[in-house]
Structure 1
Amino acid sequence: MTTLACALRSGDWLTVARIKSYSWILLAVTVAAIAGWIALSDGLIDRNGKPLGTDFSNVYAAGVLTLQGQAADAYDPPLQHAMEKAVFDGRDVPFFGWHYPPFFFAIAAITALLPYAGGLALWVVSSLIAYLAVMRAILPRPQTLLVAAAFPAVFVNIGHGQNAFFTAALLGGALLLIDRRPWLAGILIGLLAYKPQFGVLIPVALVAGTRWPTIAAAAATVAALVAISFAVLGSDVWHAFFQSMSFTQNVVLEQGGTGWEKIQSAFSAARHWGADIRTAYTVQGLLALSLAAGLAWLWQSDAAIDLKASALASASLLATPYVLDYDLMVISVAIVFFVRHGLAHGFRDYEISLLAAAWIVPLLSRSIAGLTTIPLGLIVLIGLFALTLRRASTDRTTEISGEHVRIAQA
């Protein structure tokens, strides 16, 4: 075996010094890129004619419509686009659709209480702090904040003005608390309903693990969110939401309106390679069923909660056909729980190298898919999920062997 192969297998190449150096370099590049992008903008419009924070413009516009008592208009593309233009004094900015359930209007309205720049700052900074706090709580080590802040998906998410910091914080926080405070974990999972596509497999894991208090709290939270939104916004807004789902499915997902290279799913990869819609859904469905079977086995077992959490985080991304490159922020949850388990029990062959690949892949996934059609993000995620199941199986085998030795010695 070559020196490189040995290093990849053992993971010895990734020393603490290198982790720090790589993180500082990427963090410095991220800060410089963001600062330069803002400095080169024309007011609130960047050099490409898009609003700073791009996708946040749809959140802010929806918030303005909510404050004006016209929340349902956010689900009508022409009306939503008209408001996005109005936010920027009539400038012809691109359309960024509003696809969230009605209870997310509360967050949008809060940001719209401030001028656009202030709302964007509040949105990014508050969600970034929540993400970093959860990462530090899961793995309270000196390097955690540096590595979490330098994670390339942070730059992607900030550049898009997206909500993936919230998603990672809610899922990571729920999985951190699920043993000690199951009801609070359920509330956090219920709040994740603002991104319903990521909750497809969460019930599978919770039922397999007989996490009934968490299931009850999650269901109650979703019911409360729906009831409050009905009471405050009325039923028309829900009717508009359900009508808008066909636009999201047909234009954004099935026709690749955002670009196949940007959507990091099995469905998108199949479509990028020329498959028809039915075939692509079949591929996605088979993957989702495989993930569900793996999660059910893992969560009903006595495997470590860190491995269960890591697998659920990566499977949540893999199960949905609609996962974009900024959503890869959730990989941080899978990584940090796996790392916590490895630091406590040791790392096995190829684990460190694959974790490093998962950490860097958000920086490369879109460009590589665009140039080669290779879905690197999808491949790494599948590898990480499979590795987690392998680790759980190996740990169990080791424990059984150790128990047999102890019995024999006794």
Structure 2
Amino acid sequence: MWGTRRVKAVLVEPGKLSAALFTRKLDSLITPDRVRIYPRIFLAASLLGLTISSLVRVMDPTVQGAFLPDYLAHWSGGGLLLLGDSTDLYDPEIQHEFQKNALGTEVDFSWFVSPPFVAAFYAPLALLPYGLSGLVWLILSASLIVCTTLSLKSLAPGLILRKRSLVVIAVLASPVVFEILGSGQDSAFILAAWLAGIRLLISRHSFWAGAVLGLGLAKPQLVVLVPLVLLATRNYRALAAFVAVCALLMGISLGIVGGEGLYQWVATLSGPLYLDHVQQGQAWKMVGLPSLVQALLPPAWGSVLAPVLTTSALPVGAGILLLWLHRLRGQLVEAQAIWIATLATTATFSPHLATYDAVLFIPIILYLLQRRPSPLIRVASTAAFILLWMVPVLHLAAAPLPWPLAVIDAPWSAIPLALIWFESLKALQPNRTESLASSKVNRNSAQPRPVKPVPKIEGQPEAGR
């Protein structure tokens, strides 16, 4: 047996050793000086670009589209509700006509496809003229991003306490934040809901945790794994609250648009126009693993397999996560690690994860840098940062090229992000040093080691409590 192990080690180790050496070589380029200087350069450049782009769009919306184009879609949904046009809320022609009338000029169409209750959330902001409303939203989004970054102290206390200013600058300099602020997206709200929910779960406020996580239904694809993990960890109070909030929000939607309106919303998300305009038309903005697979396929194959990837990606990710948790059955697993892995799995396998939604990886990266610092984490995080900034450049370069040359436009950032996801699964393993110490104590103890029939999750209430 010893000889067999040695032969296997000889066959496997060279490959692992080469990958480790290559990773360490890249990691040596990530020096403290570069970590301090380059985020500041990116931040200054992004602020300048955001300011110029916003001014150009405000002065002449026909040049590059409306100021905060994605916010225009949400503002339009709220405005149509105020006009009483809820039955035609998802009609593209009615939405586009409303946008042209509101801005007084021809603009690129921004399609509102969020759940109906989201339109009710934006209705108060739709009372303001679009320019003023967009400015208010921009300030709210920037403030929320800063607050959520500072709230990461519970996940990465050492990093936030020792290098708070550097962390804040690095987050603000990231391409995901630039996309959120530049487009007017609401991904910062989803991030805040996730962080607040995790914090409440750790402090054993299960009911409120489930309720807060339920608010993430504004983007269903980004919270769909929450009830599965709550069920797997036997947190029935949080699960009940999550289901109750989701039911309440869908009830509000039903009251706003009725059964026919809900049917129109579902039909919109599964219709050919959405597939062409969003899933394929904006595929260059997607950074999830399913989007990478689709981008590498020939166009004819990609159009056929797109529905398959859309429907099967998250179930595959959920299966991997649940199997991984099952392997750890009976071990002491940290609740933070479980929910960071859940968040990472959701983001990695989401069929609709645009650049701005990749903001969900920020707490994952900071948690791993705090708990499992390694050359791989540092290199993967840096690679994702650079590749996400290169998305528009690669898109422009690939525009005139035929397949397979056009694959340079593929979301290559999905590769380092997938590595980060895999590291989040490995972080579920109990600390080896603590396990050895625990074993030593048990061997020296006169009391027999208790056998737990179910996994104990640190920071999680027991079933039935």
- Cα distance in 1 for partners of 2:392, 2:311 equals 23
| 1:192 paired to 2:206 | no
Q: Which ranges in structure 2 are unaligned for 5 or more consecutive residues?
A: 1-16, 154-159, 399-407, 446-465
Alignment of 1:6-405 (within 5 A): 8=24, 11=27, 13-41=29-57, 43=59, 45=61, 47-48=63-64, 50-89=65-104, 91-139=105-153, 140-141=160-161, 142-143=164-165, 144-180=167-203, 181-247=205-271, 249-253=274-278, 256-258=280-282, 260-272=283-295, 273-274=297-298, 275-282=301-308, 287-299=313-325, 301=328, 302-342=332-372, 347-368=373-394, 371=398, 372-393=408-429, 395-405=430-440
SS in 2 for 1:155: helix
TM-score computed with the length of structure 1 as normaliser = 0.87
Q: Which residue number in structure 1 is paired with residue 450 of structure 2?
A: none
Q: What per-residue deviation string (whole Å, max 9, x for no partner) do you get for residues 121-151 of structure 1?
A: 2222213322321221122432332232222
Give, in angstroms, the shift of residue 406 of structure 1. Answer: 4.8
Q: What per-residue deviation string (whole Å, max 9, x for no partner) do you get for residues 231-268 of structure 1?
A: 355444323323322336532355x122x322223443
- Decide whether the 8 Å contact of 1:170 with 1:189 is kept in 2: yes
For 2:136, the aligned partner's letter is L
Q: Percent identity between the aligned chains?
A: 21
CA RMSD of aligned residues (A): 2.9
Q: What per-residue deviation string (whole Å, max 9, x for no partner) do you get for residues 31-83 of structure 1?
A: 111112233345261632x1011121111222211111112323001111111
Give, in angstroms, the shift of residue 195 of structure 1. Answer: 0.6
SS in 2 for 1:303: strand
- Cα distance in 1 for partners of 2:227, 2:183 equals 29
For 1:77, the aligned partner's letter is P
- Decide whether the 8 Å contact of 2:215 with 2:246 is kept in 1: yes
Give, in angstroms, the shift of residue 194 of structure 1. Answer: 1.1
Q: Which ranges in structure 1 are unaligned for 5 or more consecutive residues?
A: none
- Cα distance in 2 for partners of 1:65, 1:147 equals 38
- Decide whether the 8 Å contact of 1:201 with 1:292 is kept in 2: yes
TM-score computed with the length of structure 2 as normaliser = 0.77
Give, in angstroms, the shift of residue 153 of structure 1. Answer: 0.7
Report the CA distance shift for 1:7/1:39 in structure 2 as closer, same or farther (over 3 A). Answer: same
Report the CA distance shift for 1:359/1:268 in structure 2 as closer, same or farther (over 3 A). Answer: closer
- Cα distance in 1 for partners of 2:224, 2:387 equals 23
Higher Cα Rg, which structure: 2
- Decide whether the 8 Å contact of 1:263 with 1:325 is kept in 2: yes
- Decide whether the 8 Å contact of 2:187 with 2:359 is kept in 1: yes
Report the CA distance shift for 1:284/1:67 in structure 2 as closer, same or farther (over 3 A). Answer: closer
Report the CA distance shift for 1:299/1:183 in structure 2 as closer, same or farther (over 3 A). Answer: farther
For 2:263, the aligned partner's letter is H
- Decide whether the 8 Å contact of 2:71 with 2:184 is kept in 1: yes
Residue range with higher mean Cα deviation, 197-206 or 64-73: 197-206
Give, in angstroms, the shift of residue 103 of structure 1. Answer: 0.6
Number of aligned residue pairs: 401
Report the CA distance shift for 1:110/1:337 in structure 2 as closer, same or farther (over 3 A). Answer: farther
- Cα distance in 2 for partners of 1:64, 1:285 equals 32
Report the CA distance shift for 1:398/1:277 in structure 2 as closer, same or farther (over 3 A). Answer: farther
- Cα distance in 2 for partners of 1:409, 1:366 equals 61
- Decide whether the 8 Å contact of 1:361 with 1:380 is kept in 2: no
